[in-house]
Chains A and B, each alone.
Chain A
Amino acid sequence: MNYPQLLSLAAPETILTLGAFLLLAVDLASPRDWSARLRFRIGGLLACAGCAAVMIWIGMHPGHINAFGGMLVVDPLTQLVKLVLLVLVLFAVLISIESTFTLHPGEYLALILLATVGLMFLVSAEDVLMIFVSLELTSLCLYVLTAFNKCSAKSAEAALKYFLFGGVSAAFMLFGLSLLYGLSGATNLRAIAAGLAGREGDPLLSVALVMTVVGFGFKVAAVPFHLWAPDAYEGAPTPSAALIASGSKLAVFFVFAKVLTLGFAGAEGSGAWHHFARGWTPVIALLAGLSMILGNLVAIVQSGVKRLLAYSAIAHAGCMLLAVMCHSGQSLASLVFYAATYGLTMLGAFGVVVVVESVAGDDKLCSFAGLSRRAPGASFCMLVFMLSLAGIPPLAGFFGKFYVFVAVLKTGAPGLGLFWLVALALAMSAVSFYYYLQVLKQIYAADSPPNAPSIRIPLLLRISLFLLAAGVILLGIAPDLLLGAIERALAAAGMDHA
């Protein structure tokens, strides 16, 4: 394989990188008297155009290539996940476009695109080295994006926490991966699994497994490695938090599932009630259970909406871990569907937070009081997002949960050994219903402060909120639109019986 071939294989990532450079150049060249807001709009539209161009490229160039022993895998499944990822990034850019927190929109948007490049490489990687490198590329961009509000001490604090936790987790992960390499002599995931065959009881393997899970656990904010998340979500500029909660979640979960399913194939063990067996599934089951319990219970007492969303994100990570745990084709499909719809919903919710912040200056629950009379459209969108997060039909969040539960129970069939996890998840979703309703109660039932003017929402933001809400409703009513595509991609990529 020569360089032109490699470039064409990695064309989506290349286009996006070039787009980021172009963005920087345009911002640099723009006249000095242009306001930051105008430059933000120009840059934002450029970034959106870049994402759209990459999506079109991916759509026109289906491929099925495994280059350099899994360093760069291009198949229908990774293409589809990248497409979803780009949609999420595009909306993250759209909700940032009216922001006023920075005077350097060029750099902000370029970092978003570069983080996306990292996420796209991550999705394509089946090699632990490549996984680590792209994860670091993404993380470094996200740390900076978190710190981008230079006027806010909270933003700096959040970024520092995120950075320190992230750095430690990277060390853990690297340790785990190096042990894996030592055990199997390979860096490709499938080769690792082959090399590990027959060593299921090896204590070194357990250490490698735990270290790897700790590393990824930090990235997806699963309990007990979640402590950075609430601070990062609260302190970061809202669009950055939205990106961390949506696009980055999707890609990291996808690769986490791949590492466990492919790399630790043969060491699954069992998490079924009364039939626990050593392996990685009971570990993930434990993390999932703890995340759902702690995330939901702590979210109840939050008074800030971003912190509330952060704890609910931890709870949702628990639900996605359930899908990771099942290591079947159906569960992988349910994971991608869940993460995609969850990302859309979170983006929308953060978009509404942007609206409220621009008026009230903070994201306290009481700042949402009476929103339905000041901004009926945005309030209705928030209703859709909150109910989807709570899992109320016919919204996408309900179907995502439903499909994950079906996948989990099918894994434990015929004895329904994993019913305990589904029961726990359902019980905790009742808890989550309470705090989502608290937000909606403020918006719809509480009285707005006297003489509060109605809120004018910028057109682009209004359109993107509307599109996100429409997407959440549409994917709830007709989940086959996305799910069918995922299942076809899985079958084409040969992962449907993973």
Chain B
Amino acid sequence: MLAWTIYSSFIGVLLLMVIPKDNAALARKVAILSALAGLIVAVAGFFQLKPGVMLHISTRSWISSLGAGYHLAADGVSLTLVLLTGLASMAGVLFSWNIQNRTKEFFALYLALIGAVYGVFLSFDLFLLFVFYELAIIPKYFLIAIWGSHRREYGAMKLALYSFIGSAMVLAGLISAYVVSGVHTFDLFVLARQPFPHGFQLWAFPLVFGGFAVLAGLWPFHTWAPAGHVAAPTAASMLLAGVVMKLGAYGCLRVAMTLFPEGLEAWKTPVATLAVVGIVYGGLVALVQRDFKFVIGYSSVSHMGFVLLGLATINTIGLSGAVLQMFSHGIIAGLLFAVVGRMVYERTHTRDLPALEAMGLSKSLPFAAVTFVLAGLASMGLPGFSGFVAELEILLGAWRAFPSIALVTGLGILISVAYMLRAMQKAFFGAVPSPVCHADQPPLEPVSVPERLGAALLLGVALLVGLYPRLLLDVIVPSFDSPLFDWLRKGGGR
């Protein structure tokens, strides 16, 4: 049944391709229905899963000459991310309700991206996973290049090339693993049992992990992320930060770490170091940005550093923290981008923080201000929000694995408080403008219903998971008992 998350998105794409060009209202309806269908299926699947049990959805054979199969399945990790995709896609449609230019093409590309993302999270055949993974690159490019804003063609091309180079690295590693293993299948369950030679793992792991980590924003390959996020239209940056970066982290966990545990053991310290550099560097750069959206863009780099650090700990608590952080950051970053891109930029037509400071937006856009404060607090890791639990777990995991690195990470959390408070203060709580000099300007258009709905959805989820993290953790943690995660126990994980 979960496979219908993929199908409903692609059915939406097909429907959008055939409806008349000028009927924007119909295009919106198709898009929201298709996203809603995906979300409902994802939620239903989430509650259907018995913790610790692998849910096999389809195991048909596909390309017999290669041994590639159409193997869809789900465990707690993938289901958490499927749920995230459902929520983010729903919110994204709500926040792009006002797209006027080429509406049906916008939503067709948007749904194609969503469908591909669902596909990656549900694929347990590496060929299939790769197909969906690369399929996701193309809609991203067009969403940014056509509907983007600031330096859109540059941002779009940079993002597309980085993604493509990353996936080329992954492809090189995958084909090599397939040939070296000598088995005639791409099934993850079979390949994960193959004892790859130690020497091979030593160079294949950085190839595959690095390829995926490009998309996860690993420092120093993160530069596509701020440029792409800033150039993208709101819904696309929500998806990019919210979901697409998770594709990279998910690939690291599901493919690179599962196939090459010895490689992981050898490379874990460099990975953790780069991750922490990303946390601190991303935070420091966010601290000095003038462009409101760049602040959020760099904060994403910083928060994804936490995910990669959690992965590098190779212990249960660090890993579950990493998965939870993927979910939590997906929700919160989506919300932050929605406030910046949709609520603020499309009304004020500027993202320059000093310019926003002069407008006193907390008075004219109180809803946006409140949403941003709450989302910002969540992003800082305030208890009660999902980010707190996730970052705490990652810190605990890191403390066991790399104590000195964990200390630096604490610094990263402090920086995140600083840049968030700065952005909040400058964007919303600047000097109150004197009514005289702004009297000639029309008042800002109030925050619309779809925006309120989308914000409420994301905030509600962040709060729910923050107050009751076991909702997700009870599903995530038992899935580490599966044979796929044998390396976790062998590697001295606790």
Contact = CB atoms under 8 A, between A and B. Distances in A.
A403 interface: yes
B134 A393 contact: yes
A427 B145 CA distance: 24
A480 B70 CA distance: 14
B112 to A, nearest CB: 12
Interface string A422-449: 1100110110011001001100110000
A480 B65 contact: yes
A491 interface: no
Interface in B132-182: 134-135, 137-138, 141-142, 145-146, 153, 157, 160-161, 164-165, 168-169, 171-172, 175-176, 178-180, 182
Contact of B179 (A416, A478, A479): A416
Contacts of A427: 165, 168
Contacts of A31: none
Nearest to B148: A445
Contacts of B180: 413-414, 416
Contact of A437 (B64, B130, B141): B141
A394 B145 contact: no
Contact of B145 (A392, A423, A445, A479): A445
A406 interface: yes
B131 interface: yes
Contacts of A409: 175-176, 179
A488 to B, nearest CB: 11
Contacts of B54: none
Contacts of A413: 179-180, 182
B175 A444 contact: no
A441 B155 CA distance: 13
B161 A430 contact: yes
Interface in A50-91: none
Contacts of B169: 426
B135 A392 contact: yes
Contact of B175 (A405, A441, A445, A487): A405
A398 interface: yes
Contacts, number: 86
Interface residues of A, number: 38
B14 interface: no
Nearest to B17: A380
A406 B66 contact: yes
A430 B64 contact: no
Nearest to B170: A426
Interface string B44-64: 000000000000000000011
B135 A394 contact: yes
A419 B172 CA distance: 8
A479 B172 CA distance: 20
Contacts of A479: 63, 65
Contact of A444 (B130, B146, B200): B146
A437 B160 contact: yes
A422 B207 CA distance: 14
B151 to A, nearest CB: 13
Contacts of B142: 440, 444-445
Given A419-B172, A429-B168, 4 more contacts: A398-B134, A410-B179, A427-B168, A478-B63
